[in-house]
Amino acid sequence: MRNSKLSIPIIISIILHLILIIILGYQAIKNIDGINYGKETGNSIDAIMIDPSVMTDQYQRQLKTKESQQQADRKREQQLADQAKELQAKQIAEQQYLKDLTKERIKLAEQLKKQEEERIAAEKAAAEKAAAEKAAAEKAAAEKAAAEKAAAEKAAAEKAAAEKAAAEKAAAEKAAAEKAAAEKAAAEKAAAEKAAAEKAAAEKAAAEKAAAEKAAAEKAAAEKAAAEKAAAEKKAAEIKAKQKAEQAKKDKAINDLLGGLTAGAPNSPSDQSGAAASRKGSSDDELAKYKALVTNAISNKFINPANVYSGKSCVLQIQIAPDGLLLNVTSIGGDEALCREAVATTKLATIPKPASGLYDEVKNMTVEFQPK
């Protein structure tokens, strides 16, 4: 069927080429017949001389043209024949390929069919085997479950019996333990009450003893403080009396000196004592002010943490130079701890410079220091 379809165009092509050849031949003959060697008219004849060689050349050219055309036609026909033959060979090869392909497809289909049949058979065998294995497994599982159930029931019964026995034993032990604990608690309670009573009595006696010791200590401390204060006051009074005696001696010497140099001045004992009293009043006021400045200088440097030294005092013996430079400081009475701190603080303090007329009275002075 395929060869018949391809032969129709080939036949048509051949027919067309034949028609073309006929037309070309007819045209060539017409051109040859149309060459004029003379021209006739109704009245006269004109003769033209034509060169035979020109005619020959023209004829030869026409022949060559015709031969070339014929060769081209033959070549074209040969090409068409070759193409037709090649096409036919390709068709035959293609038909053979299709036949072989069809055979391969049939063979492959048969193989696939066989494989499918084998697969179905294998699946069937596997399914049957799985079903058999499943049935065997289910049977074994059922048997195992039954055995486990029986074992569990047996174990549960044994456990229940053991728990019952243990519960009865535990109840008996608990009752015995509770009884022993109650007896022990009663004994411990009695012992604790006895120990508490003894402890309370001991604590009361210790508290009374501590109170008595504290009262005795406070009394002794008060007596000691009173004694120290009395000693300090006594020593201060002695120092003050001594200073007054020295000052009176100095005043007497000055009065005696002034009494011998001043004419018309009263020399009676009453006049001299009046002048000394006047100078002494002025000196005591300046002395008090200066000692207050010294006390403030010490207080500015003194540290009283948590007011531990409040209400306590210390009498200091201070020796200074004319410009206020501290030469020496010692404690001569008062609280020992406070006196230690006061001596150390005085060494750090800046003592103010005394007036020139006051230096003799303060160059070796006593100061009573009380922390603020």
Q: Which residues of the chain have pLDDT under 50?
A: 2, 36-41, 260-279, 281-282
How many degrees, rounded to 5, is the angle at CA 251 between CA 248 and CA 253?
Answer: 110
On whether the CB atoms of residues 243 and 361 are closer than 8 A, the answer is: yes
> pLDDT value at position 181?
86
- The alpha carbon torsion through 296, 298, 301, 303 (nearest 10 deg) reads -100
In a domain, 332, yes or no: yes
pTM given for the model: 0.29
Last residue within a domain, chosen from 99, 126, 153: 126
> pLDDT value at position 316?
96
The encoded tokens of residue 312 equal: 């306590």
Last residue within a domain, chosen from 126, 146, 178: 126
Determine the structural domain holding residue 111 and report its residue range.
2-33+51-126
Last residue within a domain, chosen from 98, 126, 154: 126
> pLDDT value at position 334?
93
- Each residue's pLDDT tens digit, 301-356: 998 888 889 889 999 999 999 999 999 999 999 999 999 999 999 999 999 999 98
**Distance of alpha carbon 109 from the chain centroid:** 71
Q: In sequence order, what are the beta bridge partners of 295? A: none
Q: Give the integer Cα–Cα distance in Å for 56 and 189.
A: 170
How many degrees, rounded to 5, is the angle at CA 304 between CA 303 and CA 305?
Answer: 105
In a domain, 243, yes or no: yes
Does 239 lie in the same domain as 122?
no
Give the pairing type, strands 364-369 and 314-320: antiparallel
How many degrees, rounded to 5, is the angle at CA 235 between CA 233 and CA 236?
Answer: 60
In a domain, 140, yes or no: no
